[in-house]
Chain A
């Protein structure tokens, strides 16, 4: 039975794809973005145990050299996450697909489908393929929220059961992408073209960070790529400092005039469905 590390399950979400959806967040990511809002989702816990001593309500325990999280006792103060020096969290549940389905059963009458997110959920592609297969059987849709870091052309078992993908285009310049995320953008852009040709792209999203990124170029190039595919949405996201650690923790949020300028650029390039958040 496959298991995967689940960070949390949100029963109802209005920001993870069309309509009302349950959103499932998986631990682990191959990118290390400077503006990551939840860096504790990047690495899998290595059970060093620093957080066990820090927990004020004794919701963490050491057992067989592993850190065990007792979620019934947890008060949600996030002291463990603040203590961790390894961009991880002990508050992970290793779940089977059936356990996830049991968890969202109460939500099923009210949702169009589910969205898997992260971290980077496609790292668990076999698990997610199994989950999506079961979700389709329940008559619901399956969406993937991804930064495109693994080559989706090589994962047909996942793509076959995925209805749509929401893809981050963080930068279209390889050097800039490496500076921002530590990885190349080649696979991301390959995935973008691939998803467009198989009609499985729901939206692309770009976080706008003044001063750090060539926002105009990124938005210009990306919007031109999707403009030939009507129905694909462009979501422009204002950088915000929530949860960000490191050099960008005090960086500036873009003002409305910049966002408006970029929105106009996207529209000028022929994309009609634009969301600014």
Chain B
């Protein structure tokens, strides 16, 4: 019971932050999911991990409702008719946000805001006020930079207002992505880059890649998690390749023996958690979102997250010299590709009881030390930028539920945003899926995938409570992942 007392007494935590921690503590007093001996073997060795989502999963980790449908039809459960103007539209969205479940307690996707609001955009001043209210509401109530808003690919007045307000507000919430494709006009993309260099958002999404995986109806949620609209992600497992690499004696034993066993173990854990959620907790039968068609069971998927590819490759190859290591050495990069191909093959073959499983490049958790997110090149070992971009793109091909990399640029780039657009266009032609960037002089910066305000981290570290939950994670990542040491690109 000491841990419960710790939660309610913990300083520097708001009521809501304590409330969420209390709910998690209650959930974790039971242990209804039982793994096979083989799967437990990998859990015990920290290879397979349920992301501490909670021991009794009674709701999906991520829900990405069809907000467009909601605005068209209203909601009988919420007693709302379809909105008639932009203020009703914004107000009804805020109401629905309150009812979207998520494992972390707060929602991760607030919609493709420009597409949702464009039909109600009649008067520029009114639209500006309405969007301002909506963004402030999300920032001050959800207060978690895993909540994500999408814009693009087309240039709209609402899209421009969202970019203007984001640059002006200088807040980490909401996280933001620009869906980018060959139809996105350069001047809109440049406006997004200018905003990105002052508030670290939006990131750019390679629409061509994700359309191949999902069609055009996908959402970018949380850090950069890509999921079907009107569905979501049941659960996110995390395969720690760094730990798996320590168990492997040779390349062959890793690829032929350990990887297939560990990936299946990760899938088993996810499969059983989803069965508990769907078959025993009857999530869908108890959701008005499902009754009203805002979510559908067949649009939910499971996400197999990966971390520590870099450490795995370097450990198994015994690569110590800089020129032998992952990122710089072609031999190491090729081996990394073999590992990812193998994981993809096993995950694709696995047939869970509900939905299908897809790969995801996990960004790390605050407690990670010396463990590089997803398939990234470790901080401090980045090769020259052209090679860094090429290696990153090459390892992202199988990650249909999202993967991303971030590049801090020297503030000089603000005078030439076109230079960043050229880099993005080149990276997307090489099939990179997602790219984030920020300017080295920004206060709002990206920590692996989510945003934090550096000035808030300072406050928190001085024992003051701050509004944004993600600040706590950012403070951890600053210490464990040396995030502030990411190589700044002077271009």
Contacts and interface: CB of A to CB of B under 8 A. Distances in A.
A, B from the same assembly: yes
Interface of A: 11-15, 18-21, 106-107, 109-112, 275, 277
**CB-based closest 4 A-B pairs:** A110-B426, A14-B419, A20-B422, A20-B419
B432 to A, nearest CB: 10
B491 A109 contact: no
Given A13-B491, A15-B412, A109-B426, 7 more contacts: A13-B419, A14-B415, A14-B491, A15-B416, A20-B419, A109-B430, A110-B389
15 contacts: A12-B419, A12-B423, A12-B489, A13-B419, A15-B412, A15-B415, A18-B416, A20-B420, A106-B387, A106-B390, A109-B426, A109-B429, A110-B422, A111-B422, A111-B426
Contacts of B423: 12, 20, 110
Contact of B416 (A11, A14, A106): A14
Interface of B: 384-387, 389-390, 412-413, 415-416, 418-423, 425-427, 429-430, 489, 491
A119 B99 CA distance: 65
A194 B430 CA distance: 41
A11 B386 contact: yes
A19 B422 CA distance: 6
A256 to B, nearest CB: 16
B433 to A, nearest CB: 16
Dominant SS among interface residues on chain B: helix
A110 B415 contact: no
B175 to A, nearest CB: 25
Contacts, number: 59
A32 to B, nearest CB: 28
A19 B421 contact: yes
A106 B418 contact: no
Nearest to B384: A11
Contact of B419 (A11, A19, A106): A19
B386 A20 contact: no
Nearest to B418: A19
A110 B412 CA distance: 18
B390, B412, B419, B489 pick with most chain A CB within 10 angstroms: B419
Contacts of A109: 386, 390, 426-427, 429-430
A12 B386 contact: yes
A72 to B, nearest CB: 11
A112 B416 CA distance: 13
Nearest to B417: A14
A24 to B, nearest CB: 15
A95 to B, nearest CB: 18
B59 to A, nearest CB: 42
Nearest to A113: B422
A13 B389 CA distance: 15
A231 to B, nearest CB: 15
A12 B387 CA distance: 12
Nearest to A17: B416
Contacts of A275: 415
A107 B386 contact: yes
Contacts of A21: 419
A146 B386 CA distance: 27
